[in-house]
Structure 1
């Protein structure tokens, strides 16, 4: 039985700008929980990536507060390190994240810098590779992996830090159908293990099929934050922000089904 979701990260009225004129995050309040599957949507420039970088404290907010499991965080290095252990980011392009030439070295890099024992590092690396079924990647050169394989390695490198939330920036970008399907299965599996998964995406069919909660952003603000089923009933919002109706949702409405994805799972 899945454990009750616990609040891991809370943002209160945070703001961030890359310069004084252009506000990237404008007074956002948000809570993220263990085990939940959240999709963040919005046009390019709406603030999705900036929000991720603020959650991980890569971007230093100009105002507001960030809490990790109800503890208010400061800009002390020790607290920044703590939030980055608990909240990992998988970037859109694996090449922006992979730094080692060897898969094992890449996955072990994070825990090696935590000051834990070598035995614990090995244990975490092995466990992360096993979870993602990439034990046979161990000695492979990272530059010769396919896009899907690189994505799995970047996820394993984050898993080895034992995070409680993982943020995915456009997780399906540049992946073929097989790799996309395998990655979606990995996201479900991580959620089942109690890790909160937050994915920014433009793939509205993936959003309907996968997400439990949907957040719509525009101009650095959160416009809507609600359950998936509620979101696609907001016809005025969908029209205003030019959001296409997912194919599965359209079929479900015609068949008068409340949860078409679950119905398809039952049939399969």
Structure 2
């Protein structure tokens, strides 16, 4: 048995889960999420990512194995689950599964009110959460009038109002256009800078390589690999076994390095970083000349 470590916030130890219809959701899955880290969970549809997430805040209970939070096995009693869900915030892929109040402010206040907080504290938390996601001015707007991207922001605000330590997001970029994706990722980066741990699932391997501190690969209900994101170029076998492609920057960098156009090290984790390595590339403080 592996002893819990102080730097592990969320831990799955040989967790198995079987649905009522007999289908296997998790099959001896083990995975560690470190405090203060950004984590990307990769895997094909049906690999167990959503099932894993629903165990992270007690929506599902393992058939066998152990889920630990902050070193302690999850308590599935009423008080234990309320405590866990105040510390682990969950964002579903479809925001309509998470929004049910008439107005934005009412929806964001639901969680804090269920914690038994007084009205003044709830109002402060709601205002701060809406400000954090850039929606401070629409607290009274009906939820049904919001765009898809705004609904996702309201869901995040509802989670933030609980003051969680870990934010779990199931395919957060799904359904968002590039501008809305950039806005969402800016919010996540701000939260991480404030010390929040983040675990998200994605099919975008390029994004995972660029953004995450740690990458975890799911297949057939198991976490088949966990490693620092910088090690991804050495993990081609695990990616291929899970049906995942290499990030496009990896073969491109290898080809340019073989031709002597860029150094082999350090290895860039985005195309922007690779372009900056090319001879004559503009540095951040430089600006291209323009002709009047």
Q: State the TM-score, normalized to the length of structure 1.
A: 0.92
CA deviation after TM superposition for structure 1 residue 209, in Å: 1.5
Q: Which runs of 5+ in 1 are unaligned?
A: none
Give the unaligned 5+ runs of structure 2.
Answer: 1-5, 257-261, 277-282, 285-292
What residue is the counterpart of 2:51 in the other structure? 50
Q: What are the superposed Cα offsets for residues 126-183 of structure 1, whole Å, 9 maximum, x if unpaired? A: 1111211210121111111111111111000000000110110000001001000111
Counting matched residue pairs gives 264
Match for residue 39 of structure 1? 40
Distance 1:193 1:6, change over 3 A: farther
Alignment of 1:139-154 (within 5 A): 139-154=140-155
- Map 1:1-268 → 2, pairs under 5 A: 6-19=7-20, 21-253=22-254, 254=256, 255=262, 256=264, 257-261=266-270, 263=273, 267-268=283-284
Q: Tell me the SS of whatever aligns to 2:252.
A: helix
TM-score, normalised by the number of residues in structure 2: 0.85
Ranked by relative contact order (alpha carbons within 8 Å, sequence separation 6 or more), the top structure is 1
Question: Structure 1 CA distance, aligned partners of 2:123 and 2:8?
Answer: 30
The CA distance in 1 between the partners of 2:34 and 2:138, in whole Å, is 31
Query: In the aligned structure 1, how far is the partner of 2:33 from the partner of 2:176?
Result: 27
Deviation at 1:187, TM superposition (A): 1.2
State the partner residue of 2:259: none
CA RMSD of aligned residues (A): 1.9
Deviation readout 1:164-207 (Å, 9 max, x if unpaired): 10110000001001000111111111111111111111111211
Q: 2-side partners of 1:125 and 1:54: how far apart?
A: 26
Larger Rg: 2
SS of the equivalent of 1:122 reads helix
Aligned-partner Cα distance in 2 for 1:221–1:232: 21
Q: Distance in 1 between matches of 2:87 and 2:152?
A: 20
Higher alpha-carbon deviation: 158-167 or 20-29: 20-29
User: What does the per-residue CA deviation read over 1:91-137, in whole Å, with 9 as the maximum and x for residues that have no partner?
Assistant: 00111111112111111111011001111111111111121121012
